[in-house]
Amino acid sequence: MLRTHTCGELNINNTGQEVILSGWVQRSRDLGGMTFIDLRDRYGITQLAFNMETNSELCLRARKLGREYVIQVRGRVEERSSKNKKIPTGDIEIIVEEIIILNPSKTPPFTIEDNTDGGDELRMKYRYLDLRRNTVKQNMYLRHKLSILVRNYMNDLDFMEIETPYLIGSTPEGARDFVVPSRMNPNEFYALPQSPQTFKQLLMISGYDRYFQIVRCFRDEDLRADRQPEFTQIDCEMSFVEQEDILKTFEGLINHLFDKIKGINFGSFPRMPYADAMKYYGSDKPDTRFDMKFVELNDVAKGNGFSVFDNAELVVGICAKGCAEYTRKQLDELTEFVKRPQVGATGLVYIKYNTDGTLKSSVDKFFSEDKLREIVAKFNAEKGDLILIMAGKEEKTQIALCSLRLEMGERLNLRDPNKYSPLWVVDFPLLEWDEETDRFYAKHHPFTAPKPEDYPNLFTKTKDVRANAYDLVINGVEIGGGSIRIYDKNMQKDMFKVLGFSEEEAQKQFGFLLDAFEYGAPPHGGIAFGFDRLCSIFAGVETIRDFIAFPKNNNGRDTMINSPSKISQAQLDELNIQLIIKD
Amino acid sequence: MLRTHTCGELNINNTGQEVILSGWVQRSRDLGGMTFIDLRDRYGITQLAFNMETNSELCLRARKLGREYVIQVRGRVEERSSKNKKIPTGDIEIIVEEIIILNPSKTPPFTIEDNTDGGDELRMKYRYLDLRRNTVKQNMYLRHKLSILVRNYMNDLDFMEIETPYLIGSTPEGARDFVVPSRMNPNEFYALPQSPQTFKQLLMISGYDRYFQIVRCFRDEDLRADRQPEFTQIDCEMSFVEQEDILKTFEGLINHLFDKIKGINFGSFPRMPYADAMKYYGSDKPDTRFDMKFVELNDVAKGNGFSVFDNAELVVGICAKGCAEYTRKQLDELTEFVKRPQVGATGLVYIKYNTDGTLKSSVDKFFSEDKLREIVAKFNAEKGDLILIMAGKEEKTQIALCSLRLEMGERLNLRDPNKYSPLWVVDFPLLEWDEETDRFYAKHHPFTAPKPEDYPNLFTKTKDVRANAYDLVINGVEIGGGSIRIYDKNMQKDMFKVLGFSEEEAQKQFGFLLDAFEYGAPPHGGIAFGFDRLCSIFAGVETIRDFIAFPKNNNGRDTMINSPSKISQAQLDELNIQLIIKD
């Protein structure tokens, strides 16, 4: 037996017991007469004590143990003279009688501490050491706990977890697939799923009624800091439901998770149509932890001889409470901020509503004081507030002002990571036009149903057709999204048509689904949550990488195992493929 | 709202209530004055009643509803006159007032019944219809239930579920990998994991102490009926354990599952060394639901002038209770059975111990009656028993006799699917010699530790070195297997050496693991269970395909979605690969 207890469980009630512990040497303190070692395992830290007087040989051995050595000790539990109230084992220590070195350790390339001295790259290469750090362990434990909570909640609601295949077929719609050459079917390829979308719909047609799965998904996209080529979804689908049933069910899930982890219950989540989200926040995922809504100014701002406004499709602004005291330098910073390529605006207009009631604006010479007061009134601004205004093409300006709003929220400490503000964004457009490829794309995916009242306009007012689609947004982050699905073969065919699929293409790619619709498909809909992202929200952290045990870097590489890598010529031959080597 | 209740929940207490139900038309019965429809959903069946007298129009509409139509009905719950005690809703029926056809259905290509008329291929092509059948639904539900039970049991024991990557690196050891070309890293490939073996070991090195994961694994092997290119494992690993800790922990898990599903608790599982399993059952996964152990006969059977025995490395037999009455024809059948290529024996010797006490054997002329009685005595045979004997090379003969033993077990109804006999097979050999490639292979995998007492013989008596490796066998089926792992860098290097890896190869393939061993690797070990197989055992069924929602056929194809399939030239170009087209 390698241990009788873990390093997290002994306390004052164990005093006098003979125990065996195993773990890692976290640190050791040599106080002359006594040597103390903090022994660490997943469950905690226990102090080991060695007395130079009573057992000098053992004490000398203990002093030689390096950081991260794996040892086993036998000893007696004793009450400590100076207790550590910060840890559960802080009342006791082990008077060690025997040490066995189970495995020595080289000095780790970075410190195994919450605030490590290791850089990103080094920690990725030695991820197995990085995973030893408490912060990372807590992330992994949170993730585990959330997955158990999700599964039991869904199970209690009669959702069945059903595993769908990872080796499926490639489809041209959506993002780029990872593909897998088939040896048994030469020159053919499997694809890794971007989501189990069609399979979960087939399960509804099969009558499974309530399905969920915590499932890996794959997208071969150029990676950003918060994207991974493989990621995990909580994937859900329900039959005989309308949008309302789905929103209520998953408000329940999210409330349950926040209740169990944070002790928070939000009750019913607010809802906002997509059009309002764009109009008031310039984003389909508004951060509603703070207000600072957009105010449209076309009616008052135009026709005053200021050509920037006069020529703009949209003049729109926000009111930053209490920022009238901003200095020239601070205002210049904001202008620089909106001019950065990531935001892409050409300029920024301000109006200071000074505490003394006077106004000061960067466009004083074009606007009378009355006009300025009219604008300020539109914001319900108070003395001391700062109005920030942008102008240009409608959507571009909204998106740019959204960035500025978030920046001001940041500066005003309105984006508290410990505050949570969930929101359903609903009534998404069914389709969006892509200038580059000169065609419509599905905003959600090609299986999303149009709103029944908008369906007749599918081919005539295509851009205006709304979908029964919804996103769950928390703190400006999209946590999940879903829709009511098409379950009628002809409607699905219309959808493929509007997306520019020929009948043959539609049949070739999705014939099995169109066929399935002919055998009694029920009304159904669903939702999928980004599980990595959901974990990060609970921890108030931005990057999902911290919640993945073995993440890949921005080049899609796992630098620890050095993957991807070359494969042998024999493997290529068996797969009937050859490489195109470019210089 | 599409329904107020499901089709499985209404009973006599709901009488008089106005309800809305949705579901599929399972069957309809037209009795002249009345028409009855069985409405089906996942939860059950509810009878709908239509009265020709009181509402002829609705009744006529109901008669036109075809099998598998999806309908919504509004009506009143009434007590039935002739009750059906077989179903929970059998006391009531719905007097329907309104029907809405949600979706019509073509006639399915096979009947949606427990005993369907659909062949294998047809049901695979229309898997979404096959999944509607009760038997398949029950399998999926059993699988879901088992997964929830496993997860909660493991969670209660402080095991953390940690997701490991699916896009990893290819390794030459073991079965063939599926590979995934990387677009971002041209000419390099990911591989899909055959198991998360190295990652779970790294998690132990990271101090996670107790890990599990229900995880998909992939092997590109030529498929047999009971193999799938993707399959699911319950993958587990523990730190600071010896073999005994692992066996006890997972006996606990298996007992828990059998208790919850079948009301069975086995207590402690019997254990059998690999050598005994081969000696007494000719298999490393003996079916111990019945005895019929092998009896070795070299000492009595040789030296009687029967050259088949005299020249054999092993003469060995079994005693089939009460089979002395077997006819010539039956005995010929057994001889044919062992001569089939799948068994590959050259012949079969029998001794009948007749009920009258006389003996009759196929080798009477070589053996005196005393000699025959001596052989019979070795089996503790009784009057009426039949002794069946085979001879030849040791292992080949054991394996052939194992087939015959199972066949006799089948014939004697000793392989009861409702009886369960779990067994740990322990002390596996560490390595096995492969004649074809003229080298040793790891019997389990290259990370399995030799028994400490055998380790000194690794390079001298390689074949005799035993591992701390164990398999869980239930009813002759391998349900899981695992081992205590190597955690010492030098031992791991020795292992790679004996497997014929050069130092460079070992470093290239597994350098990250060898490196990790240098930073304080704890003693650890684990086990993995075949989850598809485990599900099938609970249902007393042989094939795992019935427990996978969307399985592939023996060519690795999903005939429903027609995958794998061709991909576009643009996709190939982006991946820097081209196909080798063979005629």
3-state helix, strand, coil in chain B (%, to 5): 30, 25, 45
CB atoms within 10 A of CB A43: 18
Cα–Cα distance measured from residue B280 to residue B316, given in angstroms and rounded to the nearest whole number: 10
Question: How close is the nearest chain A Cα to the Cα of B101, in Å?
Answer: 10
Question: How close is the nearest chain A Cα to the Cα of B564, in Å?
Answer: 5
Inter-chain CB proximity A172 and B568 less than 8 Å: yes
Inter-chain CB proximity A582 and B561 less than 8 Å: no
- Amino acid identity of residue B284, one-letter, is D
3-state helix, strand, coil in chain A (%, to 5): 30, 25, 45
* Residue among A43, A70, A560 whose CB faces B522 most closely: A70
Inter-chain CB proximity A563 and B168 less than 8 Å: yes
Prediction pTM value: 0.95
pLDDT in the model for residue A519: 96
Cα–Cα distance measured from residue B396 to residue B135, given in angstroms and rounded to the nearest whole number: 39
Q: What is the largest CA-CA distance in chain A?
A: 93
Cα–Cα distance measured from residue A526 to residue A531, given in angstroms and rounded to the nearest whole number: 16
Cα–Cα distance measured from residue B308 to residue A558, given in angstroms and rounded to the nearest whole number: 59
Question: How close is the nearest chain A Cα to the Cα of B102, in Å?
Answer: 7
**Residue among B387, B408, B396 at smallest CA distance from B337:** B408
Inter-chain CB proximity B207 and A137 less than 8 Å: yes
CA dihedral of A230, A236, A239, A240, whole degrees rounded to 10: -130
CA atoms in the 13 A half-sphere facing the CB of A246:
33
Q: Indicate the domain borders of chain A.
A: 12-103, 138-272+423-547, 290-415
For tokens 């106080």, what's the residue? Answer: A31
Q: With b meaning 16 or more CB within 10 Å and e meaning fewer, what string describes B92-123? A: bbbebeebeebbbbeebebebeeebebeeeeb
Region of residue A451 (left: phi > 0; alpha: psi -120 to 50; beta: else): beta
With residue B179 as reference, give the H or E element that holds it: strand B179-181
Cα–Cα distance measured from residue A311 to residue A397, given in angstroms and rounded to the nearest whole number: 13
Answer whether the bond into residue A109 is a cis peptide, omega within 30°: no
Q: Which residues of A touch B557 (CB under 8 A)?
A: 185
How do the pLDDT tens digits run along chain B, 583 residues long?
899 999 999 999 999 999 999 999 999 999 989 999 999 999 999 999 999 999 999 999 999 999 999 999 999 999 999 999 999 999 999 999 999 999 999 999 999 988 888 899 999 999 999 999 999 999 999 999 999 999 999 999 999 999 999 999 998 777 899 999 999 999 999 999 999 999 999 999 999 999 999 999 999 998 776 789 999 999 999 999 999 999 999 999 999 999 999 999 999 999 999 999 999 999 999 999 999 999 999 999 999 999 999 999 999 999 999 999 999 999 999 999 999 999 989 899 999 999 999 999 999 999 999 999 999 999 999 999 999 999 999 999 999 999 999 999 999 999 998 899 999 999 999 999 988 888 899 998 899 999 999 999 999 999 999 999 999 999 999 999 999 999 999 999 999 999 998 999 889 888 999 999 999 999 999 999 999 999 999 998 878 999 999 999 989 999 999 999 999 999 999 999 999 987 6
Determine which of B228, B507, B565, B568 to mutate to test the interface with A (most A C-beta atoms within 10 Å).
Answer: B565
Q: Which fold has domain B12-103?
A: OB fold (Dihydrolipoamide Acetyltransferase, E2P) (2.40.50)
Determine which of B68, B106, B129, B184 to mutate to test the interface with A (most A C-beta atoms within 10 Å).
Answer: B184
In chain A, whose CA is at the least distance from the CA of B160?
A144
Q: Which two tokens stand for residue A228?
A: 């991974």
Domain B138-272+423-547: homologous superfamily in CATH: Bira Bifunctional Protein; Domain 2 (3.30.930.10)
Angle in degrees, 0-180, between the axes of helices A134-156 and B134-156, rounded to the nearest 10: 140
Inter-chain CB proximity B104 and A151 less than 8 Å: no
Cα–Cα distance measured from residue A339 to residue A3, given in angstroms and rounded to the nearest whole number: 62
Cα–Cα distance measured from residue A338 to residue A414, given in angstroms and rounded to the nearest whole number: 19
Query: Under a CB-based contact definition with an 8 Å cutoff, are residues B406 and B418 in contact?
Result: no
Domains A12-103 and A138-272+423-547 are alike in CATH topology: no
Name the architecture of domain B290-415.
2-Layer Sandwich (3.30)
pLDDT in the model for residue A357: 95
Query: Under a CB-based contact definition with an 8 Å cutoff, are residues B169 and B190 in contact?
Result: yes
